[in-house]
Amino acid sequence: MAKKLSEYSMTFEEALATLSDEGKKKVMEQINLIKENFNNKKFLGAKKFFIESVEGLNSEIEMPLEEKEIFLNVLMESYAQCCKLAREKYTPKKYRKAVN
């Protein structure tokens, strides 16, 4: 069963705080892109995915901050691409919204 945002060991803001200002900016760009182009369920899913990724990196791997930011940015870009592909695949053409 899927966890609620309140059930994670850290909040979204705490997860963001582990990054530098540039890393926060890049992740928030991806999150805002998802918020603008997809429904609230995908937006909350992106937040959960980010928190799970940060928790996993913090608990399992010692990684320099710069590499961690690059890795998390790529993960968030991939999540946004998956959302876009899922919409294209399962939504009939007449109901599709234009996504950048």
pLDDT, residue 96, reads 67
**Which of 79, 88, 68 has its CA nearest to residue 19?**
68
| Per-residue pLDDT tens digits of the chain, which is 100 residues long | 567 777 777 888 888 888 888 888 888 888 888 888 888 888 888 888 888 888 877 777 777 888 888 888 888 888 888 888 877 777 777 776 665 5
pLDDT, residue 80, reads 85
Query: What's the one-letter identity of residue 21?
Result: D
CA 75 to chain centre: 7
Cα dihedral angle (9, 22, 68, 47), rounded to 10 degrees? 40
Kindly list the distances between the CA atom of residue 90 and the CA atoms of 23, 63, 80, 81, 96, in Å, as whole numbers in the listed order. 32, 38, 16, 14, 10
**Is the pTM of the predicted complex or chain greater than 0.75?**
no
Half-sphere exposure of 44 (CA within 13 A, CB side): 9
Q: Strand, helix or coil at 91?
A: coil
